[in-house]
Structure 1
């Protein structure tokens, strides 16, 4: 019997007892029956999940990573609404941890929360935020949102060559 849980609508064939014996009638599919995983809502003992655990409309449906990405995009959109044209073509990225984190910890150097990479001839500037480093520095969701915005403002100010206070009027005034 074959099974594959990642292919939707995958069909399996269950052999009936005595299916290996020669069939006397001319019925082509007498020895096997077909059932799809989509038709089976529960496991074979009648237990198990009947549907989705969390509906997409509920706040718990999104993962921490999704919420963090949304915070970064909200901060970037806020800065773009304020500054406009100078921020066209800037890409904002989220990475889990910075490269060489083990060496930074061994040297007792604080890990960077973000990174600005200047533009190259092929692509525009990239501002990367490191999700795990920022999350470890915060104790609440509100503090996380403020820190994410501050890191976005700091890296964008580094890119534009201005002070972070001039880039966003509420920079570090929320604490």
Structure 2
């Protein structure tokens, strides 16, 4: 005995309202608000802002790679906030900023921005063989 073939379902209608009749939901936040930025992305933005600020006065920094790493690779007694590696013949100079140690030492975004800038200035000064105050005259004043 053949079983009857169920009728084909009708094409679904486009929904104009949600099931409670209140209309479709809008965005949670306006597009210009960085709601979806992760902590790592926000930290990278702080480093990038600091580097751009310094590159205006030190154009040679365009040849330096700035990296954001979670933690330093070697476990030492003291945990560095950043490190600088001079250029070699097959690679450019690099400055590494370590995100987690910086975040642990700061309470809010403003403190974090200040500390990130200080670390970037210190590492640039070390790489260039200068005092941090000559790299950024406002170093240590904030």
Band of TM-score, shorter chain? 0.7 to 0.9
**CA distance in structure 1 between the aligned counterparts of 2:26 and 2:79, rounded to whole angstroms:** 42
Gaps spanning 5+ residues in structure 1: where?
1-20, 24-29, 32-38, 40-45
Q: What is the aligned partner in structure 1 of residue 68 from structure 2? A: 94
Q: What is the aligned partner in structure 2 of residue 65 from structure 1? A: 40
Runs of 4+ aligned structure 1 residues displaced above 2 Å come to 50-57
Q: Judging changes above 3 Å, is the alpha-carbon distance between structure 1 residues 114 and 132 closer, same or farther for their aligned structure 2 residues?
A: same
Q: Judging changes above 3 Å, is the alpha-carbon distance between structure 1 residues 56 and 97 closer, same or farther for their aligned structure 2 residues?
A: farther
What is the count of residue pairs matched by the alignment?
136
Contact 1:54-1:61 at 8 Å conserved across structures: no
CA RMSD of aligned residues (A): 2.9
Contact 1:118-1:124 at 8 Å conserved across structures: yes
Q: What is the aligned partner in structure 2 of residue 162 from structure 1? A: 130
Gaps spanning 5+ residues in structure 2: where?
9-13, 20-24
Structure of greater relative contact order (alpha carbons < 8 Å, 6+ residues apart): 2
